[in-house]
Amino acid sequence: MDPEFAAALAEEAANTPIPSGPPTIEQIRASFVQHVITPHKTYHEQRLPSPSSYILQDKHISGDAGDILVRCVTPAVEDGNKKFPVLVYVHGGCGVVGSIELDDFHLRRLSVDLQLVTVNIEYRLAPEHPFPAGIEDCYTALKWVAENALSLNADLSQGFLVGGHSAGANFATVLAHMARDDPFFEGRQLTGQLLREPWVVHPDAVPDSIKDEYKAIEENQNNPPLTRGMLLGLYQIYGAPPTDPRFAPLLYPSHAGLPPAYFHVMDLDPLRDDGIVYEKALRAAGVKTRIELYNGVSHGFHLNFPQITLAKNVREDLKEGVRWLLKRGD
């Protein structure tokens, strides 16, 4: 284990009371705010670019079950006619916890640093809104971006990316499949996927052909911040059938024709092999891929502990990965 990560985990454990019983959904969400959203947001808040360097717009778009909030950030430049690529981003939290606040400040920084539009989606959560409510909200938002790119100063031909972390990366993989197969996106297809520590299959639905490759869920089952027990509990709350490809995108019958994908995978993560087997499946289907594996750290460590050296490395690699998806790199 990375020494800085180990020290940060030990300090957090020493300052966190041991729960007396199974947590309620309210307690799970409060813990996520305390240990994930707050440290990540605070870190980036202290490093925000000048407010004059970007334009922030909160849009409420019409969904099947009510309005969906999307937070849009566009770089501010002297040339008001300048257009930018766009990244549609989905927050993590297993479809149960999290909010638009998790990645808000980080996405503002990315928008300015990389000169691209970011669209951050606030989707419905389980158990109040079980699967596939969150996916449906995100797909509605993705279609809205495709139709309203010009109002955001976005040019889809420069890059139309979808991405996220953990559950957000799961959602992104599903959205990519849905968009590939939907005539609505003809002439405005996605051009890249940003997949950070994705889940792609339920442990009970792993195909026999890859079971020997899918070991991390057991090898890393007790590694915080996300243990196997926590993961399976959240899956249950999310309420998706384990074999539904909209929950387990590895099970889609074909991955051919998907846009290029950039992956982040953590070696000590129970979900490590999700990213590895999915990258392999995409590559076998002819999809261009690039994958980064980080040793000594576990799931979402860069959110809980954004100040440690490896978290800084992850953020720098992320920017290079986005540049690669936008064909600005090699």
DSSP string, 148-183: HGGGGTB-GGG-EEEEEETHHHHHHHHHHHHHHH-G
What pLDDT was estimated at residue 330?
A: 52
**269 catalytically annotated:** yes
Measure Cα distances from 219 to 179, 214, 267, 273, 280 in Å. Answer: 35, 10, 10, 10, 20
In this structure, is residue 330 part of a structural domain?
Answer: no
Q: What is the CATH number of the domain that holds 94?
A: 3.40.50.1820
Task: Give the whole-angstrom CA distance, residue 194 versus residue 213.
Answer: 23
* Domains of the chain: total: 1
Q: Which residues does residue 266 pair with via DSSP β-bridges, in sequence order?
A: 294
Q: Which of 2, 103, 104, 269 is catalytic?
A: 269
Q: Which of 166, 273, 274, 298 is catalytic?
A: 166
In this structure, is residue 329 part of a structural domain?
Answer: no
What pLDDT was estimated at residue 20?
A: 77
Task: Give the whole-angstrom CA distance, residue 313 versus residue 2.
Answer: 13
In this structure, is residue 279 part of a structural domain?
Answer: yes
Residue span of the structural domain in which 320 resides: 3-15+25-324
> How is residue 224 annotated by DSSP?
S
59 burial via Cβ count (<10 Å: 0-12, 13-18, 19+): middle
- Give mean pLDDT in consecutive 10-residue pieces for the chain, a chain of 330 residues: 97 86 93 97 98 97 93 93 97 98 98 98 98 98 97 97 98 98 97 98 97 97 96 97 98 98 98 98 98 98 98 98 85
In this structure, is residue 20 part of a structural domain?
Answer: no
**166 catalytically annotated:** yes
In this structure, is residue 95 part of a structural domain?
Answer: yes
In this structure, is residue 31 part of a structural domain?
Answer: yes
Q: Which of 202, 255, 299, 302 is catalytic?
A: 299
